[in-house]
Amino acid sequence: MHRDVTDVNLELEPHQIILRPLVTEKGLHKAERYNQYAFEVHPLANKEQIRRAVEHLFDVKVVKVRTQTRRGKPRRYRFVRSHTKAWKKAIVSLDEKDKITFF
């Protein structure tokens, strides 16, 4: 039988939930204009865990969290076919008076 991984109540630390910030041109544009920041997060983390982790690590007030599960892309190297890993992305909207600086 197939087990649903969303039923697992995994208690992760904040530094285990937020894996890395996604610093891209599009992400910096959203940060400047809309005060939204993108992060690569643990695949089993839910929105509430992501909210608490960002508030704890960066000392900010989170308004909204949106998540995407990104599928791995097929890749080929010579005669070997493989896939890149699947990962989870979170876009976090902050309160207008809060800001995160990565540099």
Indicate the SS3 state at residue 65: strand
Q: Residue 97: pLDDT band by 50, 70, 90 thresholds?
A: very high
In CATH terms, the fold of domain 5-94 is Alpha-Beta Plaits (3.30.70)
Listed by start position, the domains of the chain span 5-94
pLDDT for the residue 66: 98
Question: What letter represents residue 3's amino acid?
Answer: R
Q: What are phi and psi of 100, to 5 degrees?
A: -115, 130
**30-87: pLDDT as tens digits:** 999 999 999 999 999 999 999 999 999 999 999 999 999 999 999 999 999 999 999 9
Total-model pTM: 0.85
